[in-house]
Amino acid sequence: MPRRSNTTARVVAVMEFLAGHTGEALGLSELSRELGINKATLLSIISTLLDDGWLLQHPTTRCYSLGPTLIGAGSAALGRFPDTGPIRPLMDRFAAGYDVGCVAVAVAEGQLVVLSRSGFGDPLHGLARSGVRMPFAPPFGLALSAWYPPGRFDAWMAAANPPVGPEEMPGLLGDVATARDRGFVVGLDLPPDHELAQQLRAQRLETAGISTELLVHLGQALRRHGYHLDDIRPAASYRVNHISVPILGPQGGPEIALMVPLHHGKQTGDRLVELGTGLVALAQEAARVAPGAGAGARQDDTKPR
């Protein structure tokens, strides 16, 4: 595995921190303290970013903000992903109404990518921060793949590491059927005493990036323990990772899923049904407001083989 570049990581940390704190006055001292980078090193990084237009500095306050060069880079990136702008107000309203976070994810280059998020105190922390990537392979991504036409579903299955064996296939197809019947997916967390659970809790508080290797091991562990919750009993409590739904349109297969991360203790069955039902309604409204966000899945032609 290639070694991580500390200098590049610091550049990324500067850009991500400023992107998440656009309304704050942040000078060299504040950035140095918040990012844990000494002033001399930070000044060298910032000077280069200023010279090339990635950052701007206020002439009086000497505070830093994102620069115009990002506009071109952002426009180029937006061309590769579905536009979540029209549905962002809906996500904001949902997050405030249910007191949860809400994220929009899509698939790019075989990975699930977080495109937009609402309702989080700090937009940089955790597995649900914008730009985070996860493998688009079992068990991840069922809120999209369960509504895919057969060819796309088979491609998702084929990406599994290790491959899905005959003993695992019935359970996975059962998860697909449950998701489609219920309208939303409930993903479970690892048992709290699992060896990966502590590592994962630490990663959810990191801003420097999520370990790809950890995500691969996480997926394998979740497949062994069971990732998707089938039967929801109202009075029972569950250690839940997330609830997710597709934004459905008229044809082809969904391109965006909406997700509520639930990384904080147990949830009752009643609460899961409340959130799932609300998220389905949000996805339906999103499909009306921004038809392009749900390229679609006809209910009669998307059942996996």
Tens-digit pLDDT profile for residues 19-31 = 877 777 789 999 9
> Could you give the count of Cα atoms lying within 13 Å of 61 in the half-sphere of its Cβ?
11
Q: Are 196 and 218 within 8 A, CB to CB?
A: yes
Q: 80-135, pLDDT tens digit by residue? A: 788 888 999 999 999 999 999 999 999 988 889 888 889 875 544 455 666 678 89
pLDDT at 207: 46
pLDDT at 1: 47
Residue type, 292: G
Indicate the SS3 state at residue 231.
coil
Residues paired with residue 242 on neighbouring β-strands, in sequence order: 187, 261
pLDDT at 208: 47
Strands in the chain per DSSP E: 55-57, 64-66, 102-108, 111-118, 133-135, 185-188, 237-246, 256-261, 266-268
Cα 181-158-155 angle, rounded to 5 deg = 65
> How many residues appear in the chain?
305
Residue type, 298: R
Evaluate the CA torsion angle 208, 209, 211, 215 in order and state its sign.
positive
The pTM of the full predicted model, rounded to 2 decimals, is: 0.76
pLDDT at 4: 61
Q: Are 28 and 63 within 8 A, CB to CB?
A: no
Q: How confident is the chain (305 residues) per 10-residue block, as mean pLDDT? A: 72 85 84 92 94 90 90 75 89 95 90 87 56 87 96 95 94 96 94 74 55 81 90 94 91 87 86 98 93 53 44
Q: Is 205 exposed, middle or buried (0-12, 13-18, 19+ CB in 10 A)?
A: exposed
Residues 6+ apart with CB under 8 A from 16: 124, 131, 207
pLDDT at 209: 53
pLDDT over 90 percentage in the chain: 52
Smallest CA-to-CA distance from 49 within 9, 15, 6, 4 is with 15
Domains located in the chain, CATH noted: 6-74 (1.10.10.10), 80-293 (3.30.450.40)
pLDDT at 300: 37
Q: 2-19, pLDDT tens digit by residue? A: 566 678 888 988 988 888
pLDDT at 80: 77
pLDDT at 251: 65
DSSP state of 161: S
Mean pLDDT, the chain, integer: 85
